[in-house]
Every structure is written in structure tokens, then in C-alpha cells.
Amino acid sequence: MFTSTFRKVHNHSPIPFPHFSGERIMMMPVILGDLRGIPEQYSALVQTLYGITESRHIGKIGYLTVDERELEAGATLRRSGLHVDGYYHGKCGAWGGGSWGSVGNGMLTISSTAHCRAFLGEINGTPGDEGECDHLIMPNDGEIFEAGQVYWVDGACVHESMPVTETTNRQFVRLSMPSSGPWFEGYNVNPTGVLPSNEILPARTQFM
């Protein structure tokens, strides 16, 4: 059994995204609180996320993901199917997670559209090797994350990317907090030389 946890940490006017450009950055190491290496068009949004970041994480290594894509009806921007991001081949802590089954450092997420569903509650069973959870029974119907709002998501939070119903330009940003999880070859390097703080593993064959 484990606990699926998230919470909304911004409950004001929706935070604006920059002009859509098709930007894609995967798990780029950053110094939390520092804008070095952050694309200029995303500096304001990332600075807003830094303002929400717990002070104990500032100055440490985190990871930035920016994913923009034009989606056709029925497509998802991120990984479809129920899954957790903080579990990989029997190890916990990846992608900003903490101790398995408990609240870890997690990650801050924000999307330009409402196409993520996540679950709160106790989950019976264990995720698969890649974090997949479709084989597990959810305790409720989940919650759709609002567009332009920031959510803190635990590495053990079960969630899924929802398909769009019409052609949509979706933008997504995730700021992963310091973690014990691995960093995979093939992720984006920081052009200013900020290095990942954890074990570096060969590129994943899925979900890159």
C-alpha cells in the first residue's frame, strides 16, 4: 500500500504562459532559485515557481521540464495511463520523489490547459517497473488540475495525462525538487554547466 498525494499551491488568477513555440526541455538540471540556463521566454514563469518553492530547497539542484506541443484530437501531451513518476525498476525517489509510500520533496507542475487527472488516497498494490498503475484500483474518480494553477505533486502521486478533444496547443512545466532519483542520458543538459546531482543512467527506452 502507498499514499497518492498532491496539493494545489497557487489559488489566484491563472499564471500566464509565454507565446507557444514548441519548446521541449526534459529534466534539465538547474540551481533552484537561479535562472541560469532557463530559456528567456520562461524566466518569468520559472521565477514564479521559485517563489513557491520551499526555502529549504533554494540553492540545491532541481530539474526543469518544459513540454509544448500541438496536439490533434485524442492525443495526450504527457504519458497516458495511470502512473507515478517517482518509481523506476523497484527504486523510489526518481523525478523529484522521496521515500516510497510517503511524501517526498516532489515537484511543482503547471499546465496551460486542464488535461491532467490525479488521485488522493491510499492505493493497494505496487506500481510496475516503469511506474505504471493501470492494474491498481483507485480510491476515487480523481481531480482534474486547473489550467494556469500550480500543484505540488509527490513522486508517489498516481496521475495521467488526459487526451484533448480538439486540436490544442498545450504547454506544461514541471520543476522537480532535489531528489535521490537517477538522471538519464538523453535528458537536456544545462548550457551554463549546471550538472545533475545524482546517479546518471543510460537513456530510458520508454517515456523520454
157-207 pLDDT, tens digit each: 999 999 999 999 999 999 999 987 788 899 999 999 999 998 898 887 665
pLDDT tens by residue, 142-152: 999 999 999 99
Amino acid (1-letter code) at residue 56? R
For 7, the 3-state DSSP assignment is strand
For 17, the 3-state DSSP assignment is coil
Nearest to 44 by CA among 70, 19, 68: 19
Nearest to 50 by CA among 110, 102, 6, 3: 110
Predicted local distance difference test score (pLDDT) of residue 103: 46
Predicted local distance difference test score (pLDDT) of residue 86: 80
pLDDT tens by residue, 67-118: 999 999 999 999 899 999 887 766 665 444 443 334 468 999 999 999 999 9
Nearest to 92 by CA among 80, 107, 79, 102: 102
Highest mean pLDDT among 2-6, 19-23, 82-86, 102-106: 19-23
For the chain, first and last CA: distance in Å? 28
Which domains are seen in the chain, by residue range?
2-181 (2.60.120)
pTM score over 0.85:
yes
- Beta-strand ranges (E) seen in 93-184 are 107-111, 116-118, 121-123, 143-144, 151-153, 159-161, 168-176, 183-184
pLDDT tens by residue, 45-56: 999 999 999 999
